[in-house]
Structure 1
């Protein structure tokens, strides 16, 4: 009799276990699903915060730049895209040949001056842009023959020089009082009333 009750009890317990056990994996899967949803929610919030921070930084950078993102493409200013940048200066290479004094005036109209060459690095940059043509620069001895001066007052005597062999000189008794880059990039003195292309230079615009 006791054995029958034990057998019946065992069958009853086993039946209950068989009924309840299949629900356990479902509860586990639901728990894992909720956990994954929570993790995804946290990750999404983190990404939103990161994007918001980057957008804020971009707006701040744009406010600091005088020309916005275009300043990287046109460091000399978006309204002066024909100017070329090199080592802190902006240069304009003219497309027309005119006398030296007129070239000087044209540069001044653009808040600049005829180029003053102060180093070998600057010389190399300019001569790569002026190859096979002649360009006026801001060098002259108009006031006293043989006393060459730069327009910005830089010390000519102790400064960089790159004259052609035999230059400066006088050709056919003509006063050659204005300096220019010759076709190979070396300096040449020439008659100021002659026509040559010209190079203007100005400092890199500062942020406002």
Structure 2
């Protein structure tokens, strides 16, 4: 990740190799942009585990699709995305906030008292999209991490509802719209 971010930020010409991400038409038309290309990272499942590193080192916006917020039975390390808490650095999974505590964190952030200032996570709060039937999803941890949580009832780790292709397709449309809306606010 470090090499990729540095290579994208270091290349101001708008031309990128296959190892990098190109800019869209709106970005590339602004050749006077001195801050370099705008970056938005999108991770799915295990790649969402990189969020703490990306946030702490780069403060980049991140979309977490089906993030690992509850440990997988097959993973003996029981690793999950650490969740910052108000006034704490990082809480362990066993110390995850309750839904009421998560709502208090969100209220504080909306009131301008961002928990990011007292944690190691910098930059904009991530967008989370996950199904409620995903065994790796944890609503309380998601709400403690960000106010930008989009849940899909009965959807699994693929944000699909088995046996319901129309509903699954509607969810895919909603995820795509949510990512586009999140990106537009950056």
- TM-score calculated relative to the size of structure 2: 0.27
Query: Which is strand-richer, 1 or 2?
Result: 1
TM-score by length of 1: 0.25
Larger RCO, structures 1/2 (Cα 8 Å, 6+ apart) = 1
Question: Which has more radius of gyration?
Answer: 1
